[in-house]
Every structure is written in C-alpha cells, then in structure tokens.
Amino acid sequence: MSPEAYPAPKDKRLTEDEAVGRLQSGMTIGIGGWGSRRKPMSLVRAILRSDLIDLHVVTYGGPEVGMLCAAGKISRLTFAFVAPDVGAAAVLEPHFRAARQGGAIECTELDEGMLLLGLHAAAWRMPFLPTRVGLGSDLLLANPGLRTVRSPYPGPGGGEGEELIAQPAIGLDAALVHLNVADERGNGAYTGPDLYFDDLLLEAAEQRFVSAERIVPVGDLVAAAGDVTRLRVSRLFVDGLVTAPNGAHPTSCDPDYGHDEAFQKAYLATAKDPERWDAFRRDWLSFATEAEYQAALAARPAEGAAS
C-alpha cells in the first residue's frame, strides 16, 4: 500500500451550529459542568438559536437549565439540583422553578450520587447499578419509575439479601461538555479544580461533543494542561470538537476565568417579568453565531463587564 492511500485521521472540528445541527428534537442531552461552573454555554447558545424542542436534559444544573426552560426547549429534566451559584448564598434558579411549578417540564429527580450511578451504568452498558442511596426518602414518590432489587447474596449476619435501589442507566443521545484545553484529535484536559462528571457524560452518550477554550497540536496537550493526570477525556469518547474561547460564559471556567456575576444577575432578574426575558433573549441569545455574542460581550462598557 502506498502512503498516499492511507486514510486521513478523522477531522472532528465543528462549529457550535454544526454540532447542534447533529441533534434532533426529542433527544436526551447530557450537559457537563456543575452548577454555574464550566458549562458548555456556547453549545447551549447554539441550541437556544436552533429550532430544537422537546429535549430531555440531564445535568448537575446551573443557569443553562433556566435558559433552556425559559426558551421552551426542555420537556424533561433529570436532576439532583439546579443552582445558579451566584453570590455568597446559594440562590434558586427562577426560570427552572417557574417551569417546574407550572408543569411545563416533567422531572426525574435524583440524589446527586444516583445521577453518577445512572451515568456509570450507561457508560458500562449495565441496565442499573445497586445502591442504598434513596431508600426511605421521597425520591420513590418524586420518581415513581424507580425500582428496588434484592441482593442475591446473604445480608449482614447471614440474613436475607438486602433490598437496594436499582438506579437505572441514564443513556444519553448526546453529551455536551466544555474543557479548558483539547488537542486537534479531540483528547481533552481540565486545568481547573474539578473535572466534575464530564468524562462520564461523554462515555454515557451516543454522540459526544467537546468545546474547549484552546485547541493545541497533538503532542502538546500534556504541556498545555500542566500534568498528564489532567488528560481525562480521550478521543475514544469524542465525536465533535469545537473551539470556544470564553465558551463557558457567563459560568466560570477556572483558572481561565471566573463567572460573570453581573451578567448572571441580569439574567436571573429576567424571571421577574416576561418582557425582561424577551429583551434579554433578543439582546444576548439571538446572535447568529457565537463569535457575534463574544464580540458583543467584548464591546460592553467596562462597568458592565463583571468579575
């Protein structure tokens, strides 16, 4: 075989809109990050300007949940909490609350650890994983599909096998995560305090999209990340790669930037009145491209550019 006949490596580079163009209404979408930390917001903005609807979102939720609820994109949410993480006190997410209280979304409510187990089960192609988490709580009322399973092994002291919660696999049609740095093939690294559950979300998904602050040549990722132990996303589990500087805005992407508190407060205040949400959506969530959004952010007067 002559060298010119060898296949080229996959080119996974996409724009946000190309990535979101591969999604369909009705899909189950896992969103990475945690609360208001390292959320793949540039991909979320692409969903917000798309015609996708009826999405089932699975996430450790932050402001992206409220934005997607307010825009009518979500019909089901699988969550353990939704917290916008603004200021000293944990506050509640007003758009999410309105959607849930008004019955606009169905919810699968879980303990934080059950969400971890559900993603693990999907990633490992298991139907469920057993846990005692949830026993005795009202999760069984909030989440009536939840079943228990009896251990086939003797219980403590040789008694009957223990009855445990069988946390079902949470299989995802697609996962969206944002990382600090990736290489051109789609290997990724986090340089901040916590990977959260981003690798698991990718491993639990059929289609896997990573956006990153920076893309470096193959071979440069260890140096870019600072240490090999930070290379926690393998291209085995990445189908699409998006270059997205400041892509987590307004959430944080430590150590590259913190969250934009003024912007998040402005967003949260839009829940007070539909006209304010409409104006916010028109002013900030209706750009044709992510580049235009970033340009508008950069053009804000200095006092508007927070934190």
Partner 1 sequence: MSTHAGHPVRRADVCAVAVADTFRGDGETLANPIGIIAMIGGRLARATYEPDLLMTDGEAGLIANHEAVPAKRDRMVETYNPYRRMFDVVWSGRRHVMMGATQVDQYGNQNIAGLGGTPARPKTQLLGFRGAPGNTINDTTSYFVAVHGPRVFVPTVDVVTGIGYDRASALGPVAARFHEIRRVVSNLGVFDFETPDHRMRLRSVHPGVTAEDVVAATGFELVIPSSVTTSRLPTPDELRLLDDIIDPEGTRYTEVPDPT
Q: Footprint of partner 1 on this chain (CB under 8 A)?
A: 34, 79-83, 90, 92, 96-97, 100-101, 103, 107, 109-114, 116, 131-139, 141-144, 155-156, 159, 162-163, 193-197
Q: How far is the CB of 88 from partner 1 (least distance, A)?
A: 9
Question: By C-beta, is 58 or 139 nearer to partner 1?
Answer: 139
Q: How far is the CB of 180 from partner 1 (least distance, A)?
A: 15
Question: By C-beta, is 196 or 277 nearer to partner 1?
Answer: 196
In 10 A of CB 305, how many CB atoms? 13
Question: By C-beta, is 19 or 271 nearer to partner 1?
Answer: 271
Question: By C-beta, is 12 or 100 nearer to partner 1?
Answer: 100
Token look-up 């400041």 returns 246
Question: By C-beta, is 194 or 283 nearer to partner 1?
Answer: 194
**Whole-angstrom distance between the N-terminal and C-terminal Cα of the chain?**
57
Q: How far is the CB of 196 from partner 1 (least distance, A)?
A: 6
Question: By C-beta, is 19 or 225 nearer to partner 1?
Answer: 225
What 3-state DSSP class applies to 115? helix
In 10 A of CB 90, how many CB atoms? 11
Q: How far is the CB of 194 from partner 1 (least distance, A)?
A: 4
Q: How far is the CB of 156 from partner 1 (least distance, A)?
A: 6
Q: How far is the CB of 232 from partner 1 (least distance, A)?
A: 10
Q: How far is the CB of 273 from partner 1 (least distance, A)?
A: 19
Q: Which two tokens stand for residue 284?
A: 């900030």
Question: By C-beta, is 107 or 297 nearer to partner 1?
Answer: 107
